[in-house]
Amino acid sequence: MALDVAISALVEAKATTGTTVSVCLPARNEEATVGQIVATVRRNLVQRDHLVDEVVVIDDGSTDATADAAAYVGARVVAADTILPELPAGSGKGNALWLSLYACEGDVICWLDADIRNFAPHFVTRLLAPLLTDPAVGFVKGYYQRPLYGEATGGGRVTELVARPVISSLFPHLAHFVQPLSGEYAGRRRLLESVPFVEGYGVEIGLLVDLVARFGPDALAQADLGVREHRNRPLEELGPQAMAVLVTALRRAGVPVDRRLAELVRFDADQRQERVPVEIRERPPIVTIPAYRERFGLERSA
């Protein structure tokens, strides 16, 4: 498939199938970039082209003006802790994504990270194109070139140092995915609601492994998003992410992992030991939650 399908063709395919589309951004303290992303989607894909039906921001405990910035340009902002409050509290990016399945209304959900600095409409349209034009495709993973500190490449350090070696050794059938930890992806609700979500940063690799295992490799596709520029995190923030990815992969490979691995033990600049908590809990398939089934008119039995 060509990189870009004409917007008119996508709109026609969407209308023909009666598909509704939600664009969702899980966000925590991203006031600098979230507004521009939301405004671009709404101006181009909601108001002009009528390809996207809603833009939802899941505000995951921000302490800055993320919620205000997103609401100002027209997003429907939902605080994560107000979604399914009767359930035990969760935490982490994966938890926000899982909750967004309840908050969003679309048949197709397109997730975007909220820290993209060079966002353009093709980040959405290229993810949606396979889903709107090929009924066999149920999930589309974005990939891109990742600059780092002014260099053309070098980003995606957790991907290169942890995810890719783990996939190559434990899940070689997934080795063709260019960016297994990409935060930009889209999927059909009927697929997404049927698999568990790791609550923390293991969510991307968990979804990839679980969706292929349940629906087969032909149900997943990739989309070239070009170059992605975002807020590169310092090394000390990447260690917990890497551990979450590793723990998730080990679990999917059948290696028993207990709660002791929820702490990353490392040393600071003064060689003092510190223990960093890592979120490794998992949410069950949301289709098993009665409130979700009621909201979307599903049968009572899971």
Q: What is the CATH number of the domain that holds 97?
A: 3.90.550.10
21-27 and 108-111: which strand pairing?
parallel
**Count of domains in the chain?**
1
46 located within any domain: yes
Residue length of the chain? 302
248: domain range? 7-295
229 belongs to a structural domain: yes
pLDDT band at 155 (very low <50, low <70, confident <90, very high): low
pLDDT digits 0-9 by tens, 119-141: 999 999 999 999 999 999 999 99
Query: Is there a domain that residue 141 lies in?
Result: yes
Q: Is the pLDDT of residue 72 over 70?
A: yes
Instruction: Answer whether residue 1 is part of any domain.
Output: no
Query: Residue 74 domain-assigned?
Result: yes
Confidence at 5, pLDDT banded by 50, 70, 90 = confident
Query: In this structure, is residue 176 part of a structural domain?
Result: yes
**Which of 125, 123, 133 is CA-nearest to residue 179?**
123
Q: Indicate whether this model's pTM tops 0.75.
A: yes
* pLDDT score for 1: 43
pLDDT per residue as tens digits for the range 221-279: 999 999 988 666 777 778 999 999 999 999 999 998 876 568 898 888 889 999 999 99
CA angle 100, 110, 5 (to 5 degrees): 165
Q: Is 97 part of a structural domain of the chain? A: yes
Is 302 among the domain residues? no
